[in-house]
Amino acid sequence: MTKSIVITGASKGIGRAAAHALAQQGWAVIGVARTAPGSFPGEFISADLADKDETSALAGKLAARGNVLGIVNNVGLAKHETIDTMELGVFTAVMDLNVRPALQLTQALLTGMRSARFGRIINVTSLVTRGFAFRASYAAAKAALESLTRTMALELAGHGITANAVAPGPTETELFRANNPPGSEGEARYLRSVPVRRFAQPEEIASAIAFLASEQAGFITGQTLFVDGGASLGSL
Ligand SMILES: NC(=O)c1ccc[n+]([C@@H]2O[C@H](COP(=O)([O-])OP(=O)(O)OC[C@H]3O[C@@H](n4cnc5c(N)ncnc54)[C@H](OP(=O)(O)O)[C@@H]3O)[C@@H](O)[C@H]2O)c1
């Protein structure tokens, strides 16, 4: 049986790089996002994961295949905001997209993973869970996803299923560059926070995801792997 792995937010950035890395590792890749990319190293399904019912329908279809033994919960949403002015609607939307599809899709795949006695769950969180100004909703959402990762790890450990988080630091994706153009104050602020003094490339995050998805990583579960150029260690 060919093992399939689903990647959310797979059309760009980290998700797309993960799709390439996992395909190279021999997984049959199923990518999900709203808009299909020009080319993709596997099957691509268009879905809006901000829609609970659409996510549920997708989850049912993936579960019915029986061979989806991996999932990379990568879709995310971040907003710039301050504690004083953050809006409840934004807070709810950010909490929702970062956490709810991960739960819905992963839940749907557990029966198949249990019967295969093998499963890989990788949740993409963020360095911001360590504390980061102007990202209150986003940091809270990613912290929730990290906590969920540990619970998943404990409950599924006896079934050959691992659950881990990959927490990227600032990574040069289209979205990141749109918000932090070269020479901007945003870019300078991020660079100051990274000891290696550069941003990650999406492929560097993808290689950590691919490692945690590998058979060789079977004794690692419930962990958060920071891929952040040392930024989670503190300041220089
Ligand atoms: N880049 C960074 O510096 C950084 C740092 C730490 C953590 N992260 C995390 O890493 C993950 C990937 O980030 P990225 O920078 O690679 O993001 P990105 O370049 O903005 O890509 C986001 C992906 O999610 C899809 N997407 C967005 N909203 C969606 C929705 N409602 N339904 C389905 N798909 C949706 C996008 O495609 P469509 O627009 O076509 O739907 C795209 O494929 C996120 O969870 C992010 O929080 C990123």
Indicate which atom in ligand 1 lies nearest the CA of residue 176: 1
| Of 6, 7, 8, 11, best ligand 1 pocket probe by most atoms within 8 Å of the beta carbon | 11
CATH of 4-224, one of 3.40.190.80, 3.40.50.720, 2.40.30.10, 3.30.1490.20: 3.40.50.720
C-alpha of residue 26 to centroid of ligand 1, in Å? 24
Confidence grade of residue 127 (pLDDT, cut at 50, 70, 90): very high
Q: How far apart are CA 63 and CA 110, in angstroms?
A: 8
Top-confidence residue, 71 or 1: 71
Going from the Cα of 74 to the center of ligand 1, the distance in angstroms, rounded, reads 7
The answer to whether the CB of 177 falls within 8 A of the CB of 148 is: no
pLDDT digits (tens, 9 = 90+) for 159-201: 999 999 999 999 999 888 988 899 999 899 899 999 999 999 9
Outline where DSSP puts E strands in the chain.
Answer: 4-8, 28-33, 43-46, 68-73, 119-124, 161-168, 224-227
Q: Is 176 in the pocket of ligand 1 (CB under 6 A)?
A: yes
- Indicate which residue's Cα is closest to atom 36 of ligand 1: 9
Q: What does the pLDDT look like over 202-234, one tens digit per residue? A: 999 999 999 999 999 999 999 999 999 999 998
Residue closest via CA to ligand 1's atom 40 equals: 35
Nearest ligand 1 atom, CA 171 = 3
Mean per-residue pLDDT for 15-28? 98
Q: Is 190 a catalytic residue?
A: no
Among residues 27, 44, 138, 226, the one annotated as catalytic is 138
String of DSSP letters for 98-114 = HHHHHHHHHHHHHHHHH
Q: Kindly give the number of the ligand 1 atom that is closest to the alpha carbon of 12.
A: 43
Give pLDDT, residue 147: 98
In tens, the pLDDT along 35-83 reads 999 999 999 999 999 999 999 999 999 999 999 999 999 999 999 999 9
For 125-209, strand residue ranges (E) read: 161-168
Cβ contact 21:36 at 8 Å? no
| Ligand 1 atom closest to the CA of 205, numbered from 1 | 10
Q: Are 76 and 96 in contact (CB under 8 A)?
A: no
1, pLDDT greater than 80: no
Does the CB atom of residue 48 touch ligand 1 within 6 A? yes
Query: Rounded mean pLDDT of 81-102?
Result: 98
Centroid of ligand 1 to alpha carbon of 76 (angstroms): 5
